[in-house]
Structure 1
Amino acid sequence: MSTLKRVHGYLAEFDGAADIYHAAEQVRDAGYQRWDVHSPFPIHGMDDAMGNSRSVLPKLVFVGGMTGTCVAFTLQTLTQTNFWSSIGLGFLQTLAETYPTIVQAKPTDIWTLPAFFPVMFELTILFSAFTTLFGLLALMGLPRLNHPLFASKQFGKFSDDGFFVCIEARDPKFSQEGTKALLEKIGGKNIELVEDEL
Structure 2
Amino acid sequence: MAEFSDPEVLVAKTRQAYEAGYRRMDAYAPFPVHGLSEALGLKRSWVPYIVLLGAIAGGVGGYLLQYYTSVIDYPINVGGRPYHSWPAFMVITFETAVLGAALAGVLGMLALNKLPMPYHPVFNMPRFILASKDRFFLCIMVTDPKFDLAQTREFLESLEPEGVYEVEQGATKIYE
TM-score of the aligned structures, taking structure 1 as reference length? 0.81
CA contact (8 A) 2:4 2:136 kept: yes
Alignment partners' CA distance in 1, 2:136 and 2:43: 22
Residue 150 (1) aligns with residue 123 (2): yes
Residue 21 (1) aligns with residue 11 (2): yes
Cross-structure match for 1:4: none
1:92-171 alignment, distance < 5 Å:
96=72, 98-100=73-75, 102-109=77-84, 112-171=85-144
Alignment partners' CA distance in 2, 1:41 and 1:21: 13
CA shift, 1:17, in A, is: 0.9
CA shift, 1:36, in A, is: 0.7
The AA in structure 2 aligned to 1:188 is P
CA contact (8 A) 1:13 1:163 kept: yes
CA offsets, 1:74-128, max 9 Å, x none? 11112213xxxxxxxxxxxxxx1x233644321112xx21111111111111111
Determine which structure has greater relative contact order: mean sequence separation of CA pairs < 8 Å that are 6+ residues apart, divided by chain length.
Answer: 1
CA contact (8 A) 2:5 2:134 kept: no
Structural RMSD (CA): 1.4
Alignment partners' CA distance in 2, 1:174 and 1:102: 71
| Structure exhibiting the larger radius of gyration computed from Cα positions | 1
Give the number of aligned pairs: 170
Identity among equivalent positions (%) equals 36
Structure 2 residues without counterparts, runs of 5 or longer:
171-176
Structure 1 residues without counterparts, runs of 5 or longer:
1-10, 82-95
Partner of 2:169, secondary structure, is: strand
